[in-house]
Structure 1
Amino acid sequence: MTARKLTEKQVLLSFYITQLIMMVIGFPLLWWQGHFNEGYFGFSNIDMWIWGASLGLLIVCIELILIQMVPQDWMDDGGINHLLLKNRSFLHICWIACIAGVVEEILFRGVIQEWLGIWGSTMLFALLHTRYLHKWLLFSFVVGISILFGFIVEWTGQLAPVIIAHTVIDLLMGLYMRFFTLKEE
């Protein structure tokens, strides 16, 4: 389904429903795996914050460079992000970024990666972003980020850096899209 067939309200509702479903699945499974504890998250470790924020900023810089270098339609998701963000306030975009960063990383890197490994969790994460499947550059970018996030969790043994990076990416790109590229209709 393309953005032309969806309303802004439907896209926002869909976002919240999918995030709720992932949260209802991910949080109990992370607890069941024995990882729902501060040690696995690592938010008290300042190094994890530095790694996560730096990685998020680096990925945003790469994405902004790509946006400038390639034809616009190569990095367009069919208008879904436009519908999700076009009338959101700064605080609402912050909220959306935090929810996506926490919930998606707990499920994909915290739970699924333990069972299916980096490659399995990456394939499922990429499939979550089905609207990117027909955009080879966008799809490759998401797959590359997912693989990188998987290796970071393996290397650090903690979720904090990827949760922070994911949140930074979604926040900065959401703000960029909302306030610098999206025009009111």
Structure 2
Amino acid sequence: MSEDLNGITCDQRSQQERLILISFYFTQLLFILLSVPYLWWKNRLYVELAPFTEIHMWLVGVGVGGFIVAMEFVLIRLLPEHHFDDGGLNQLLFARRPWWHIMLIAVMAAIGEELLFRGLVQAWIGVWGTALLFALVHTRYLKKWVLVVFVTGVGTVFGLMVEWTGHLAPAVIAHAVVDFVMGCYLRYGAKG
């Protein structure tokens, strides 16, 4: 039976990848199921999602997402690799996926997390509280101060985008851009 560098068999790795993927989709669906009824009840669902048809929302989202990706690449270039080690979870999620599945994962994460954090939670605890909660939910990063600071900063930027535009659309777009590009980087461009 063949083993990879971590001493696990290919079957074990496939099973881990499958469990990570199932857990990911379950979590994102849960986020959506928690958020959509609340936004609908508050008559905010259409207001939050309608701007996807407006070009300036796409320009803001892609621009901010591109800036965040550029900052992440600068940090990756400047800092030792161990600062970005999330325990291999992202590697398991993205490493053997085709580009279209990485895109699906990125869009699903962006919709689920932005509906929950910026659409639901931010109204209760504000931009800063939501950014901290956003970082805490990404628990695999908590032992890596660079990742905690970076994810808190990204959560703050997403929250400020929602405050500035009054809509979730640019934050969802920026989030999807970041996750897609970084997922493709893990799949096609990262060492290892």
Give the TM-score category using the shorter length: over 0.9
1:95-174 paired onto structure 2 within 5 Å: 95-174=104-183
User: Which digits, 9 at most, give the CA deviation of each residue in 1:73-110, with x for residues without a partner?
Assistant: 10121100000111111110010000001111011001
Residues 89-140 of structure 1 show CA distances to partners (whole Å, capped at 9, x for unaligned) of 1110010000001111011001110111112211221111000000000110
1:21 aligns with 2:30: yes
TM-score (norm 1): 0.92
Match of 1:46 among 55, 59, 66: 55
Q: CA RMSD in A?
A: 1.7
SS of alignment partner, residue 52 of structure 2: coil
**1-structure distance, mates of 2:34, 2:169:** 19
**How far, CA to CA, are the matches of 2:31 and 2:48 in structure 1?**
19
Between structure 1 and structure 2, the one with the greater Rg is 2
Normalised TM-score (structure 2):
0.89
> Is contact 1:82–1:182 with CA below 8 Å preserved after alignment?
no
Deviation beyond 3 Å, 4+ runs, structure 1:
3-6
Q: Comparing 110-119 with 160-169, which one deviates more in the overlay?
A: 110-119
Gaps of 5+ in 2: 1-5
Taking the aligned partners of 1:152 and 1:103, their CA distance within structure 2 comes to 17
| Structure 1 partner of 2:66 | 57
- Return the alpha-carbon distance in structure 2 between the equivalents of residues 119 and 58 of structure 1: 20
Letter in 2 for 1:87: R
